[in-house]
């Protein structure tokens, strides 16, 4: 019996382990690559070169930075809650990694073909603010606590419009599964244009982008970090690879939001010649994701930070009513003219 | 013991152990985090019961939103020392009565249930494909209870906003 059990455990365990390792690898590579891309794009926007020394055009700069972070002394504040201080980066990193579980690359390549797809991503990423609060609190530093609390307030406020903006897409495709959502966008709309949800749900897409930026604590909503007032907020006391984990999860989360946007609004892997050459599918997806990533970095290079009261007003008094209106209109159209879609 | 059973025992142990730690922990932030572990382990049990939607909802609503809210309140109300005495503040009589009566109710319910095993057809259910079925049950079969629950939540929401506005805003 023990042998039988251990065999089963081993096979199930291997599957889980491989899936997790794949997720961590994807999140890490995507995060590290995005840091480099962001530095280059920001440099370009500010008419300078950015990293140039390490590798061709500085391509190995972030790899060198990771090595530096690993080698750095790992300091812990004397009055910190040692265990929680150690746990917080992991609590932030795990949700960002687990989100990759349900993201498909093409119509049949996905780690976990779950019906709840999108829902899983939004559910698992709600744990992130807990990690941020814990990071802030365990640091025993007033700036850190303020940063952690701000991030929690912000993420809770913007989860609502984020979910509502996506609901329109889910209603149109009548599925939570990301592969089905992409499949629903391959009908012909007008001429060569496919029914990508950005055309059917333009308001939903804009709301998704804004709420996504706020959810990611990105400029112009990077209030929780606010270098000039909070000295990086919740991560003030962190150094070395613990800080690296915060960075990594942040950038992995950006990739997740961009990937989701490409899958739900930009037709996913749908594109010219994709039916003739199936290998093009991941390429189209990557191109669309990169376009969204560029947009996100571009916004960082362009806009100043909003104030926290402006942020709350925008979230509750503008975005929420707009998202609800979008939802009602979608529902009405679906009831009156269900044949159109 | 099958891997399923083993996973169930591990998860149940996590729920009970972290529930106990939640009670005896003197540091209120630690208590909330033990509570979080209990909630996540419960989500794991839901996953085992082939209910991924329920598991995700458990994570979204309880592990995510509720835990953050509790932490938020803790951070805003406790200014200096996070250590609080959980026991001995209100005496032992009131909590004891509450605990005993709750235990009696639960014992009565549990002793009456027959614990029938899941019907055979559920064994064939694909864990990945339950959302559509759940939607049909919720919005067609049990629409009225669903709507009543939604209305109740709306009332709570409006009441919360009213309380939050305070007396000065009565006129508006």
Among A156-160, A288-292, B158-162, the least confident range: A156-160
B132 touches chain A (CB under 8 A): yes
Q: Which residues of A touch B71 (CB under 8 A)?
A: 130, 133-134, 137, 152
CA distances from A50 to A35, A57, A292, A304, B1 (A): 12, 9, 21, 21, 59
Q: Count the helix, strand and coil residues of chain A and give each as a percent rounded to the nearest 5.
A: 70, 0, 25
Give the three-state DSSP class for A105. Answer: coil
Cβ A281 vs Cβ A274: under 8 Å: yes
From A247, A251, A245, select the one nearest A90 (Cα to Cα): A245
B143 touches chain A (CB under 8 A): no
CA distances from A319 to A38, A164, A208, A211, A322 (A): 27, 10, 10, 8, 5
B133 touches chain A (CB under 8 A): no
Point out the residue among A5, A81, A115 whose CB comes nearest to the CB of B1.
A5
Residue ranges per structural domain of chain A: 2-336
Q: Which of B60, B153, B160, B161 is most worth mutating to test chain A (most A CB atoms within 10 A of its CB)? A: B60
Chain B nearest C-alpha distance from A273 (Å): 31
Q: Has residue A150 got a pLDDT over 90?
A: no
pLDDT of residue B145: 92
> With bands split at pLDDT 50, 70 and 90, how would you rate the model's confidence at A12?
low
| DSSP annotation of B171 | -
Terminal Cα-to-Cα distance of chain B (whole angstroms): 64
Q: How far apart are CA A92 and CA A251, in angstroms?
A: 12
Cβ B15 vs Cβ B52: under 8 Å: no
Q: How far apart are CA A311 and CA A226, in angstroms?
A: 14
Average pLDDT, chain A: 81
Cβ within 8 Å, pair B1-A130: no
With CA atoms as reference, the chain A residue closest to B127 would be A114
Q: How far apart are CA A16 and CA A11, in angstroms?
A: 9
Cβ within 8 Å, pair A8-B30: no
Cβ A157 vs Cβ A316: under 8 Å: yes
From B73, B68, B83, select the one nearest A129 (Cα to Cα): B68
**Chain A with chain B: Cβ pairs closer than 8 A:** 85
Among A103-117, A129-143, A174-188, A240-254, the least confident range: A103-117
Cβ within 8 Å, pair A115-B30: no
CA distances from A238 to A247, A309, B119 (A): 11, 28, 52
Q: How far apart are CA A181 and CA B51, in angstroms?
A: 21
Sorted by sequence, the CB contacts under 8 Å of residue A267 that are 6+ apart come out as: A182, A185, A186, A194, A196, A197, A198, A288
Q: How far apart are CA B67 and CA B59, in angstroms?
A: 10
Q: How far apart are CA A50 and CA A142, in angstroms?
A: 33
Q: How far apart are CA B36 and CA B61, in angstroms?
A: 11
Q: What residue has token string 């939050």?
A: B164
What is the 3-state secondary structure of A235-296?
HCCCCHHHHHHHHHHHHHHHHHHHHHHHHHCCCCCCCCCCCCCCCHHHHHHHHHHHHHHHHH
Rounded to 5 degrees, what angle do the CA atoms A19, A112, A16 make?
30
Chain A nearest C-alpha distance from B168 (Å): 21
Q: How far apart are CA A40 and CA A43, in angstroms?
A: 5
pLDDT of residue A301: 82
Q: Which of B1, B3, B4, B40 is most worth mutating to test chain A (most A CB atoms within 10 A of its CB)? A: B3
Rounded to 5 degrees, what angle do the CA atoms A311, A316, A320 make?
120
Show which of residues 45-84 on chain B sit within 8 Å of chain A, judged by CB atoms: 52-53, 56-57, 59-60, 63-65, 67-69, 71-72, 75-76, 82
Q: Which residues of B touch A167 (CB under 8 A)?
A: none
Q: Which residues of B touch A148 (CB under 8 A)?
A: 75
Among A82-86, A118-122, B144-148, the least confident range: A82-86
Cα-only R_g, chain B: 21
* DSSP-assigned beta bridge partners for residue A188: A194
From A289, A252, A260, A275, select the one nearest A107 (Cα to Cα): A275
Point out the residue among B1, B30, B59 whose CB comes nearest to the CB of A126.
B59
Cβ within 8 Å, pair A130-B71: yes
Class of residue B141 by CB neighbours under 10 A (exposed 0-12, middle 13-18, buried 19+): exposed
Q: Which residues of A touch B60 (CB under 8 A)?
A: 119, 122-123, 126
Q: Has residue A69 got a pLDDT over 50?
A: yes
Point out the residue among B3, B30, B59 whose CB comes nearest to the CB of A123.
B59
* DSSP-assigned beta bridge partners for residue B27: B83
pLDDT digits (tens, 9 = 90+) for A92-116: 888 888 888 888 887 777 777 777 8
CA distances from A162 to A207, B115, B148 (A): 7, 41, 25
Beta carbons within 10 angstroms of residue B136's beta carbon: 11
B19 touches chain A (CB under 8 A): no
pLDDT digits (tens, 9 = 90+) for A28-64: 888 888 888 888 888 888 888 878 787 788 788 888 8
The low-confidence residues of chain B, meaning pLDDT below 70, are 1, 78-90, 115-129, 167-172
Q: Has residue A195 got a pLDDT over 70?
A: yes
Q: Which residues of B touch A152 (CB under 8 A)?
A: 68, 71-72
Q: Which residues of B touch A114 (CB under 8 A)?
A: 52, 128
pTM exceeds 0.95 = no
Q: Which residues of B touch A5 (CB under 8 A)?
A: 1-3, 6
Q: How far apart are CA A299 and CA A318, in angstroms?
A: 20
């Amino acid at each position: 019996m023990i042998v039988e059990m251990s065999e089963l455990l081993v096979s199930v365990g291997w599957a889980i382990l491989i899936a997790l390792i794949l997720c961590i690898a994807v999140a890490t590579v995507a995060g590290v690559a995005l840091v480099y891309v962001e530095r280059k794009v920001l440099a370009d926007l500010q008419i300078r070169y950015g990293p140039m020394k390490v590798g061709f055009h500085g391509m190995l700069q972030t790899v060198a930075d990771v090595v530096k972070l690993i080698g750095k002394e790992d300091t812990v504040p004397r009055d910190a809650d040692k265990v929680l201080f150690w746990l917080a980066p992991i609590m932030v990193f795990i949700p960002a990694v687990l989100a990759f579980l349900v993201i498909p690359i093409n119509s049949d390549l996905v780690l976990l073909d779950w019906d709840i797809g999108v829902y899983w991503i939004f559910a698992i990423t709600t744990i992130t603010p807990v990690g941020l609060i814990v990071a802030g609190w365990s640091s025993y530093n007033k700036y850190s606590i303020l940063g952690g609390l701000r991030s929690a307030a912000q993420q809770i406020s913007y989860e609502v419009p984020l979910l509502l903006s996506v609901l329109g897409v889910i209603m149109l495709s009548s599925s939570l599964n990301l592969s089905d959502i992409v499949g629903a966008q391959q009908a012909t709309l007008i001429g060569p244009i496919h029914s990508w949800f950005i055309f059917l749900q333009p308001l939903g897409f804009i709301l998704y982008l804004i709420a996504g930026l706020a959810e990611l604590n990105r400029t112009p909503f990077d209030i929780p970090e606010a270098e000039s007032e909070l000295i990086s907020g919740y991560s003030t006391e962190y150094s070395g690879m613990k800080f690296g984990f915060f960075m990594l999860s942040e950038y992995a989360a950006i990739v997740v939001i961009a990937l989701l946007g490409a899958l739900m609004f930009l037709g996913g892997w749908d594109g010219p010649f994709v039916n003739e050459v199936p290998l093009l599918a991941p390429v189209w997806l990557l191109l669309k994701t990169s376009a969204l990533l560029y947009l996100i970095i571009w916004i960082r290079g362009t806009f100043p930070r909003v104030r926290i009261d402006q942020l709350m007003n925008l979230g509750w008094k503008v975005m929420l009513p707009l998202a609800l209106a979008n939802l009602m209109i979608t529902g009405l159209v679906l009831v009156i003219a269900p044949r159109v879609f | 013991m099958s891997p399923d059973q083993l996973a169930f025992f591990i998860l149940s142990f996590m729920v009970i152990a972290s529930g106990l730690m939640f009670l005896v922990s003197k540091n209120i932030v630690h208590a909330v985090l033990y509570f979080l572990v209990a909630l996540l382990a419960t989500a794991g049990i839901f996953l085992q019961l082939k209910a991924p939607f329920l598991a995700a909802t458990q994570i979204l609503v309880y592990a995510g939103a509720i835990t953050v809210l509790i932490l938020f309140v803790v951070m805003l109300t406790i200014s200096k020392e996070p250590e609080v005495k959980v026991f001995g503040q209100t005496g032992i009589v009131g909590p004891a009565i509450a605990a005993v009566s709750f235990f009696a109710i639960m014992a009565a319910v549990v002793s009456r249930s027959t614990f029938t095993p899941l019907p055979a057809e559920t064994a064939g259910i694909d864990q990945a494909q339950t959302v559509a079925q759940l939607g049909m049950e919720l919005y067609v079969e049990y629409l009225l209870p669903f709507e009543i629950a939604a209305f109740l939540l709306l009332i709570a929401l409006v009441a919360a906003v009213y309380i939050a506005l305070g007396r000065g805003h009565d006129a508006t």
